[in-house]
Structure 1
Amino acid sequence: MNPIVIAIIAITCIISYMGLNDMRLFEKYKFNVAAINNKKEYFRLISSAFLHADFMHLFFNMLSLYFFQGVVTAFFGNIGFLIIYFGSLILGNLFSLMIYKNQPWYSAIGASGAVSGIIFASIAMAPNEISVNFLPGWLFGTLYFGYSVYMMLNPKQWDNLGHSAHLGGAFFGLVYSIVMHPQLALSNILFLGIMSLPLAYLAYQIFVNKKIR
């Protein structure tokens, strides 16, 4: 596996472990609307990705990154991987900030936005070359985003995972892939379209039904 990816996974695991054992660190670096908007703590847009709710949350995100990173580094190189990872992370959290701007209490953690961008970029390049627990990569991605949309529209009191960040991250990964490899990405438009169905439904709920805002 690429050493850059190994470094990201290792750093994320270490900081997540520290955050789970130090509530002050966890509270200082998590995504929080009030802290970002009122105190201008923009570092939280990035630092929140290195914190996770529990070991299962951490494991699922890092396992997803492990399965999909290979295609991304093969097609985009190390610089492209970093652009997609951190671009998706930042755009995902900016999307969350926009959606929840009127809910200052809203907080979230997790690398979901970044991983979502990697998944979309990977499927755009090679939808049939990845399998996750015997599921084709594009089907795993569809279920991944479907779950995120469901949890975002039906939030639980205990859930502070960054589900909305999945959506902004996915958008960045998709757009970057089309810009860099338009012919290949558009040849896989069917798989990308299927994987985008949960996101289209969420957009309808947000902008037409005004369900979240």
Structure 2
Amino acid sequence: MGNLDLVTIIIIAANVIITYKGFGDYSFFEKYKFNVGAVKRGEQIRLISSGFLHADTQHLLFNMLSLYFFADLVIRLLSPVQFLLIYFGSLLLGNLLSLYFHKNEYHYSAVGASGAVTGIIYAAILLQPGMSLMFFFIPVPIPAYVFGIGYLLYSMYGMKKRVGNIGHDAHFGGAIGGYIITLFLAPWLFETSLPMIGLLAIPIVLLFVLKKMGKI
């Protein structure tokens, strides 16, 4: 993992250019960030444009590094076009889930590629469920599916407790996007990875059950 395909370079470059434009131009940032009230007034472009803006350099760097490590696997096992479908579909679904959860909070705003990147990470986990992930703060490899399920459970906790200034619902929506779109594009996974598909579906089903029960 970690090789840069042309399409990955273009996505990263677009994020960097648009993010730094936003850093230096407050009106540009305000015009294109995700905002519930603005989207409800018809400014749907924000559902996509907000994914190319970031709160600060650290936020941008974290998202682009995560994309760098997982993009090549998805492109190699599917195709550049299918990678883009997952990326933009996850970005859109992440913001739509945010809109659903915050529909009555007209001032709610968010920025970042996290939903899109989370979708790519989930696509990679589905396509290569046996891979292990290494983190600086954990000295042993973690199976990718354990990370995926754990991340979604943490996102649910973050949504319930409003942990940090983080769009946990956009992360969750992006993961759902990556999950659904990848299965649509690669139906052979139902033959090769059915137990893993079921396992990764558990936190997604749990989210909507808890939402219906009023727990989130």
Q: 1:132 to 1:57 in 2, by over 3 A?
A: farther
Q: Are 2:57 and 1:50 equivalent residues in the alignment?
A: no
Structure 1: segments with no counterpart, 5+ residues: none
Match of 1:4 among 7, 11, 23: 7
TM score, norm. by length of structure 2: 0.85
Runs of 4+ in structure 1 deviating by more than 6 angstroms, as ranges, are none
1:18 Cα deviation (Å)? 2.8
Q: How many residues align structurally?
A: 208
Report the Cα offset of residue 182 of structure 1: 2.3
Quote the Cα distance in structure 2 between the aligned partners of 1:53 and 1:190: 38
Distance 1:151 1:192, change over 3 A: same
Q: Residue 115 of structure 2: which of 113, 116, 128 is its match?
A: 113
Correspondence for 2:147? 140
Q: Partners in 1 of 2:58 and 2:147 — Cα distance? A: 17
Distance 1:64 1:50 in 2: 15
The one-letter code sitting in structure 2 at the alignment partner of 1:15 is I
The alpha carbon displacement at 1:75 in A equals 1.9
Q: Distance in 2 between matches of 1:108 and 1:3?
A: 28
> Closer, same or farther in 2 for the Cα pair 1:115/1:185, shift >3 Å?
farther
Tell me, yes or no, if structure 1 residue 202 matches structure 2 residue 207.
yes
1:86 aligns with 2:88: yes
In structure 2, what is the equivalent of residue 95 of structure 1? Answer: 97
2:89–2:181 contact (8 Å) kept in structure 1: no
Given the superposition, is the C-alpha separation of residues 194 and 60 from structure 1 closer, same or farther in structure 2, using an over 3 Å criterion? farther
Judge conservation of contact 2:115–2:172 (CA < 8 Å) in 1: yes
> Which position in structure 2 is the counterpart of 1:76?
78
* CA displacement at 1:192 relative to structure 2: 4.3
Structural RMSD (CA):
2.1
Matched, 1:152 2:156: no
Whichever residue aligns with residue 32 of structure 2, its letter is Y
* Other structure's SS at 1:92 match: helix
* 2:169 aligned residue (164, 167, 172): 164
Structure 2 distance, partners of 1:166, 1:110, is: 10
**What is the TM-score normalised by the length of structure 1?**
0.86
Query: Match for 1:81: what amino acid?
Result: F
Taking only the aligned residue pairs, the percentage that are identical comes to 46
Counterpart in the other structure of 2:138 = none
Distance 1:143 1:125, change over 3 A: same
Query: Which sections of structure 2, spanning at least 5 residues, go unmatched?
Result: 136-140
Mean CA deviation greater in 79-88 or 12-21: 12-21
In structure 2, distance between residues paired with 1:97 and 1:84: 19
Matched, 1:37 2:40: yes
The alpha-carbon distance between structure 1 residues 103 and 78, as it changes in their structure 2 partners (threshold 3 A), is same
SS, match of residue 135 in structure 1: strand
- The 3-state SS of whatever aligns with 2:44 is coil
Q: In 2 relative to 1, CA 53–194 (structure 1 residues): closer, same or farther, beyond 3 Å?
A: farther
8 A Cα contact 1:128 1:136, kept in partner: yes
| Alpha-carbon distance between aligned partners in 2 of 1:177 and 1:116, rounded to the nearest angstrom | 13
> Which of 118, 130, 133 matches 1:131?
133
Q: By how many angstroms is 1:120 displaced?
A: 1.5
